[in-house]
Every structure is written in structure tokens, then in C-alpha cells.
Chain A
Amino acid sequence: MSRIDQMFARLREQGECALIPYIPVGYPTVEGSESLIRTIAESGADLIELGVPYADPLADGPTIQEASLKAVSNGVNLKSCIAMVRTLRDKGLETPIVLMGYCNSFLAYGLDNLADDAKEAGIDGFIIPDLPSTMAKPYVEIFEARGLKNIFFLAPTTSEAREAAVVEQGQGFLYCISVTGVTGERKSLPAELRDFIHQARQVTTLPLAVGFGISNEEHVREVSEYADGAIVGSALINVIKQSEPHEIEAKAGEFIRTLKQATRKAATPI
């Protein structure tokens, strides 16, 4: 069983929701990146969504746009992201890791090379926000041949017919987009979110992770009531942004611990 499948199976037994933080490689600094990612993992991340910095991230709001751009100008590229995972694995990190990035970063690298290098480095899969299921076939074939997962999306706007097609192709877990919109912190989660997840639950046994707008402990606690994963991006970046350089790791670690605690109170959804 893959790292991702094992993790969800274990949490399901424990009645816990997975905490899935997003952090771009090389943010806020290249030097501090490896240690920060390790801190995030050790503080309770169940899966890490490592961002491949892209300067024109169409599905992202201002917070991640700014963080991505910072990492790009810090000189980070896909190659350094893969190298980062290799280093983390060499030093014994076993937390599942998926790369989150835009199609063009992966295309420019070459999909076959990408899949070879990613596998070798210990990457578990990919989240590609501008690759809808209708366009995904060539990517999935190449990834699957190396046992790498492509994580598919469900949105509030996904029709029933599409939902069926997405579910059929789904691997690892499904990324459920909480709102119509881009990434970014929000005051509250949409009222329809619970129904959206329940509805998806009717058609798939894959774990369902919710992302976009999950900003605090309360949100994580709420999502943990009905979903299998809570993805937190902009809120973590804002914690980092608001910290003095020397306290970034401590603050990020504390934030992750608090969020992870909020996933534990949940009763098992299935």
C-alpha cells in the first residue's frame, strides 16, 4: 500500500481527520525551507502538499500568489523541489508528500523525466490545479506507470455526470474545493460544504479532503466532522509571514499542533 493510502487507512481506524498543510518550497527562505518543512511534518502534518513555486498561479489568491512569487525570486524551481524531497527522505522523513504545482512547470520539465525523478526522490503524487480530469489522461498514464498518484478535484460546480467520471479516475484521495473561488483565508466555511461532502460520500469510498479557505482551529474541527482531510495553505503562510525570522519555526509548529489537535476530536465519518 502506498504511503498515502496507509495514512488514510490508519487515521480512519483512529477516527481522525488528516491535516494537510501546504507550503511552497523555498518559502520564506531557501536556507530555512528544509527545516521548516520538517517542523511542519513533526508537529502533526499527516500529508504535506509541497508547493512548486509558479509566478502566475491562476487558482490562487493574493497570499499564495505572493508566497509563490517570493519563492520563485528566491531561485526555486521544480528541480530544487524534487531535490528537497530527496533530502527529506534521505534523512528519514516518512510523511506522505505530494507536489502541488501548475501544468506548465511539469510540462517544461518533461513528464517522463518528472515521473522518474519524483519516484526516485520519494514523492507520492501530484496536485495540479489547472489539470481538470478531462485533460489528465496523458499525465495520469505516465504517473501511474511509476506508482505515483494524481489527485483529482471536486468543486461545488462539478456536475453529477462529471463527478462520476472524476470518482472513477480518482486515486489516493479527492481534493474537494470548498468554495467557488481562489485560495485564501475566509471568515467562515460555506453553509453548503457539509452537504457537498455528504453528496460526494454517496458516490465514492475514496478519502475526501477539503481545501480552500480553511483558516483556523474551528474550521478544522468543523471539517473533521464530515471529511477525511483538511488542507490548510494561506492561513499557514500568513502565520509565517507575521512571524519574526527567528520564531517562524516555533510559530508554524505551534499552529500545526493546534490544528492537528482539532482533527482528533472528530468521530469517524464512515
Chain B
Amino acid sequence: MEGFFGQYGGAYVAETLIRNLEELYGEYERIKDEEDFREEISQLLKNFVGRPTPISALHRITAELGGAKIYLKREDLTHTGAHKINNALAQAVLAKRMGKTRIVAETGAGQHGVAVATACSLLGMTCVVYMGAVDAERQAPNVQRMKLLGAELHLVHSGQKTLKDAISEAIRDWITNVEDTHYLLGSAVGPHPFPNMVRDFQSVIGEEAREQILEAEGRLPDYVIACVGGGSNSIGMFNAFLDDADVKLVGVQAAGEGLESGKHASPLLKGTHGIIQGSLTYMLQDEDGQILETHSIAPGLDYPGAGPQHSYLKDTGRVEYTSVNDREALMAFEELCRKEGILPALESSHAVAYALKLVSQLPKDALVLVNLSGRGDKDLSQAIAALEQLKNAEVLV
């Protein structure tokens, strides 16, 4: 059936929204291969976003660990500082071509909100962003950026006051303003056609990286690693490698305070089948189907569901899903700053942390490609405080 990955996906939404989803799907299918649309997107990606982003080899860390060679795909170097801009710009262009004048979006880490506000400023569209009150507090610099870019910011005080609650409010706004508004969803989640569309718009990451590593090393990597919140940077990276059977794909979820503590955000490891925000997928829920609270130091990973294609890739075994806890992510965050001069987002630090654990077990000639989905400027105050706390605790022990 259309809009499904195996049994996962679909469009479980109010009847009121069906027309918009059908219209979006129809227009997207019609426009996506048009020369004119592709040219507009590729010009923007080149001249505004700064693509292609490079891949960088981690020389010092590789030498120190004595293991395999690690490359980072540098989405942190895009304009606005995360992969989110790839999808935000493309969807905004599509929406404008569809005659929409108003954009609503949710944001967790604030990176998607900043990207959408940027796209709207560039294209002259009205921008409304919903953000959980807890996230707004822990990602203050991005709140300021969004406001400066002209976005109307609504803080969400319902539920856990994080990403899931922001998505719910954005959907409610969309149901109310169906005529002039496009909902610019920021991850590969939600009702059909969002998971497909967001994947397609993020696939530039993997397409570039695949070519770049072939050029640098003359071969494909043994491992490709990315962090998985809703799953957009990871699916954008993995998509180009899905048919390369020898390339192992690893998605890293947030283990928070530990998978066994119950305070985590790993639906692909600890979740069960359910319907969350419009699609059937692995999600964290109690036996009554109520969505469970999540925990992660990285706001962009702090979400109880995974994109439906990830659920499918988990079941088929094509992607291996694993997790990294807050502490490991923080250590990787610091390590990358100290040894390689790169300040990663806390979300991306999860992928880096897993790579650092993995390479010491791999032969020297192995090759690992990690998607560095964003930069960490937004995380500074929270990460520094958390690192200090960690160190104080360890001195005491």
C-alpha cells in the first residue's frame, strides 16, 4: 500500500488533514523530477547552504586509538549549522510553489526551527515555530536566532514540554489553517508523505559522502554511522548505501541515563508497535498505549518514536540500531573538541561516541564514515555544565 514501509507508516490523521496530505503528495510527486525545481534546489544548496560539505579524516584520534580510520561527513559546516537546512529549504520551495504563504514547524534542538526561519526569511514566507518550553530553555541561543530571523515562536507547555509536544501543537495549527499553511515537518516521521519526502531531501548527504569517500579512499566504507532521533540525518546518509550489501549501517539512539533506567529515548531498541503522530512505527508506550516520557541530554534525540522506514530497516536487519548514553555522548563531545578542533552537536556526539567505541575493535585498515549532523554552539552552556558535573562526580567516587 502507498505510504507504507512493510507494515509501518501510513497516515493516521484527522479527516480534515487528508486533503492537504494528498495535495502535498501529488504536488511533490509531480514537481520532484522537474528540471526547474531540481535546479532551484541545487542552486540554493550550493550558493546558500554551502554544499557540498566536505568529509574530514580524524587524524589524531585515529592515531591514538590505533584502530580503523574515521571520516566525518561535515553537516555542521552547512549554513545554520545542521543537516536540517537541506530539508527545510526544499520543503519551503515546494510549499511556495504550491501557493502556500505560511509555514508552521516544530523544533526540538532549535536547529530545525532556525533552518525553517532561515528558509522563510530567504523566500519571504510567514514562519510560525512551536517549541517545547523545556527545550527553549536548554537551547536558548537558537531561540534568539529564530526570533531574529523573524519567526513567531510559540512555547508549548503541554505534556513533557519537548519535541513530541511541539509536533502535536504544530499539527493542531495545521488542522486549523489548512488553506494557506504548509506544515514543514523536520524529521522522517509523521504521516505519509513526510517520511519519504524528508528522506529524499536529506539524501544529498549520503550521495555526496559516498562519492567523496570513494575518491579519498578508492573504496566504500565498512561502516556508516549516524544518530537517530526521528531519523532524518541517518536516513539521508544511509539511503545512498542501502544497496551496498558490504557496507554496515548503524543507527545510534539516545540511551539517556541508560536503557535499563527507563530514562532514555530509544524506541528502536525498547519500543513496541504503535501509532504516534500519524504513523505506525516502533514507539515508547505503556501497556495502555499512552506515550512514555523520554530522556536525553540531546534535545533533538529526545523523542518517543522513530521514523517508519527505520522500523522497517530494523526488522529487515539492513540497519543495526544501538545506543549511547548521556555520559558517553558528553565525553565524545569533549574529545572531538580537544583532539580534532570540531565542536559537534550533542545529537551528533552520540554517533561519534559509538564510532570511537567501535574502531578500537576493528582492524587497522577498516574504514568508518560518521555523519556529523550538526555543530554544538547551541549546546555550549548545557554541555559544559553537564561535563563539570560529570567530572565532579568522578572525583568524588
* Nearest CB of chain B from residue A196's CB, rounded to whole Å: 12
The reply to whether the CB of B11 lies closer than 8 angstroms to some CB of chain A is yes
Give the segment of B94-102, B110-118, B171-179 that binds chain A: B171-179
Partner of A155, one of B15, B22, B171: B15
A103 in contact with B12 (CB, 8 Å): yes
How far apart sit A153 and B12, CA to CA, in the bound complex (Å)?
A: 13
How many residues on A have C-beta within 8 angstroms of the other chain's C-beta atoms? 39
Determine whether the beta carbon of B289 is less than 8 Å from that of A108: yes
Residues of A with C-beta under 8 A to B144: none
Q: Does A65 contact B (CB under 8 A)?
A: yes
Decide: B288 and A154 in contact? CB cutoff 8 A.
Answer: no
Q: What residues of chain A lie closer than 8 Å to B273, measured between beta carbons?
A: 107
How far apart sit A132 and B275, CA to CA, in the bound complex (Å)? 13
Residue B231 at the A interface, CB < 8 A?
no
In the docked arrangement, what's the CA distance between A65 and B171, Å? 14
Write out, one digit per residue, whether chain A residues 203-229 have a CB within 8 A of any chain B CB (1) or not (0). 000000000000000000000000000
Chain A residues with CB under 8 A of B175:
59, 180-182
**Contact indicator per residue, chain B 299-310, by CB within 8 Å of chain A (1) or not (0):** 000000000000
B13 in complex: contacting residue of A61, A104, A130, CB < 8 Å: A130
A55 to B277, CA, bound (A): 12
C-alpha gap A68/B15 in the complex (Å): 21
Whether B164 pairs with A56 at a CB distance below 8 angstroms is yes
A157–B178 touching, CB < 8 Å: yes
- Contact (Cβ within 8 A) A132 B274: no
- In the complex the two chains form, is A159's CB within 8 Å of B19's CB? yes
Please, which residues of chain A bring their CB within 8 A of the CB of B19?
155, 157-159, 162
**Across the interface, which residues of A come within 8 angstroms of B172, CB to CB?**
58, 61, 182
Q: Is A135 an interface residue (CB 8 A)?
A: yes
Residue pair A156, B274 in contact (C-beta under 8 Å): no
- In A138-181, the 8 Å CB interface with B consists of 152-159, 162, 166, 177, 180-181
In the complex, per-residue mask of A55-99: 1 if CB is within 8 Å of any chain B CB, else 0: 110110100010000001000011000000000000000000000
Instruction: Report the contact-size class of chain B (Cβ under 8 Å from the partner).
Output: 35 or more
Given the known A-B contacts A55-B159, A55-B291, A182-B172, are A155 and B16 also in contact in the complex, defined by CB atoms under 8 Å? yes
Asked if A131 lies at the interface with its beta carbon under 8 angstroms from chain B, I say: yes
Given the contacts A58-B171, A107-B274, A131 and B12 also touching, CB distance less than 8 Å? yes
Indicate the member of B15, B159, B273, B290 with the most A CB atoms within 10 Å: B15
Q: What is the minimal beta-carbon distance from B169 to any residue of chain A, in angstroms?
A: 10
Instruction: Assess whether B217 is interfacial by the CB under 8 Å rule.
Output: no
B150 at interface, CB cutoff 8 A: no
Cα separation A86 to B172 with both chains bound (whole Å): 34
B287 close to A108 (CB less than 8 A) = yes
User: Which A residues touch B168, using CB under 8 A?
Assistant: 56, 58
Flag whether A202 is at the interface (Cβ < 8 A).
no
- CB pair A132–B11 under 8 Å, yes or no, is yes
Find out whether the CB atom of B15 lies under 8 angstroms from the CB atom of A104: no
The smallest C-beta distance from A143 to any residue of chain B, in angstroms, reads 16
Instruction: Check A132 against B291 for contact (C-beta < 8 Å).
Output: no
Minimum CB–CB distance from B102 to chain A (whole Å) comes to: 14
B288 touches A132 (CB 8 A): no
Q: Quote the shortest CB–CB distance from B62 to chain A (angstroms).
A: 45
Which residues of B have CB within 8 Å of A153? 14-15
**Which 4 A-B pairs have CB atoms at the shortest separation, nearest pair first?**
A108-B289, A153-B15, A104-B289, A155-B16
Q: A56-B291, A107-B275 are in contact. List 14 more A-B contacts (CB 8 A).
A: A55-B159, A55-B290, A55-B291, A56-B159, A58-B14, A58-B172, A59-B14, A104-B276, A108-B274, A131-B12, A177-B14, A180-B176, A181-B175, A182-B172
